[in-house]
Amino acid sequence: MTSARPRIVVTRAIAEPAMDLLRETGDVWRPEPDRQLPAEELHTAVAGADAIVSTLADRVDGALADAAGRRLRVIASVAVGYDNADVRALADRGVVFTNTPGVLTDATADLTFGLLLSVTRRLGEGERLLRARRPWRFHLGFLLGTGLQGKTLGIVGLGQIGQAVARRALAFGMDIAYTGRRRAPADVERELRARHLPFAELLRTADVVSLHCPLTPETRHLIDAEALATMKPAAYLLNTTRGPVVDEAALARALREGVIAGAGLDVFEREPEVEPGLLDLDNVALAPHLGSATVETRTEMALLAARNVVSVLRGEGPITEVKA
């Protein structure tokens, strides 16, 4: 007996409320136990699917859509970034692609600030010292860090996440500068007291450079050896967007040689690999891609992806479509 209900493939475990929503709409399949399927297995699993819920670890391209076949109407990614997706190839096949903007803004901004505090106040170094059971005693010169009050935060890409980071920085008494292809709306500039600067000037003048631009061919290795050399020796670099925006080998060299003071990284060029040169350095705070990793945020992301699927399958159109 063939089922008239849509077939929905979910590539990784997602929050149960989102699974419930999908189950009300169709027959849902996901790998049990939860694991990342290699492309070949994924292509077999999606055969005959009407909808796919994917993650940033899946390659979402024409080959995936072709493997699903002619019934496929929507791929809903549980992520805001979509450099893993060939949106043009999907559009050419009439497949709607959606992402999850907005719902992970605060969680990612919080983590960005966490990394900033961790590296400027040397929290990782302190913790490693304690866990290594090394002797220590309070004294006035012990593990001195750098304060943020009065320093300039230079934001590369003043989108939703960049703005949320700026709001947190204002509360810490920082000045805000930003760079980007377009000026932010006047009310945003006013609220954040944000100055728009050319990229090179932002690098030259900021005490902290925080990356919030998407990964595109133009932003790949935006921060390379030359860009790092332009930054102040006392400056810090934060990357919570996508690893390849930074030339990681050049960054490790710059951190080792004191070209800049430190870095906070949540994303890496060849995830899950981390440039070995970074792992031995004390002046870098590291996190394994945790920007949106709170229970609340991951639930909202999964729910938004599920709502996109349901809405498209009902013929009501996507909620947060990424257009080619």
Residues annotated as catalytic (active site), given as ranges: 242, 271, 289
Q: Which stretch binds ligand DGY (CB under 6 A): 76-84, 124-132, 175-183, 186-194?
A: 76-84
Least distance between ligand DGY and beta carbon 78 (Å): 7
Shortest gap between Cβ of 207 and ligand DGY (angstroms)? 25
Residue 94 neighbours by CB distance under 10 Å: 10
| 7-10 vs 27-29, strand pairing mode | parallel
Site for ligand DGY in 175-204 (CB under 6 A): none
Applying CB under 6 A, which of residues 9, 37, 72, 79 lies at the interface with ligand DGY? 79
Residues 99-138 that bind ligand DGY (CB under 6 A): 104
Q: Verify binding: residue 292, ligand DGY, rule CB under 6 A.
A: yes
80 binds ligand DGY (CB under 6 A): yes
End-to-end CA distance of the chain: 38
Task: Label residue 276 exposed, middle or buried (CB < 10 Å: 0-12, 13-18, 19+).
Answer: exposed
52: nearest Cα among 29, 76, 34, 70:
76
Question: Cβ of residue 173: shortest distance to ligand DGY, in angstroms?
Answer: 28
Q: How far apart are CB 79 and ligand DGY at their closest, in Å?
A: 3
**For strand 175-179 and strand 194-196, is the pairing parallel, antiparallel, or unpaired?**
parallel
Residue 55: closest CA among 13, 96, 90? 13
Q: Which of 243, 244, 291, 318 binds ligand DGY (CB under 6 A)?
A: 291
Of 207 and 269, CB closest to ligand DGY? 269
Member of 8, 14, 52, 81 binding ligand DGY (CB under 6 A): 81
- The phi and psi torsions of 56 (rounded to 5 degrees) equal -70, -10
Total number of residues binding ligand DGY (CB under 6 A)? 7
* Cα gap 314→324, rounded to integer Å: 22
Nearer to ligand DGY, 6 or 318 (CB): 318
244 belongs to the binding site for ligand DGY (CB under 6 A): no
Q: What mask of x and - would describe binding to ligand DGY in positions 44 to 73, judged by CB under 6 A?
A: ------------x-----------------
Stretch that binds ligand DGY, among 36-44, 74-82, 130-138, 182-190 (CB under 6 A): 74-82
Span interacting with ligand DGY, options 75-83, 123-131, 200-208, 228-236, rule CB under 6 A: 75-83
Residues of the shown chain interacting with ligand DGY in the complex, contacts defined by CB under 6 A: 56, 79-81, 104, 291-292
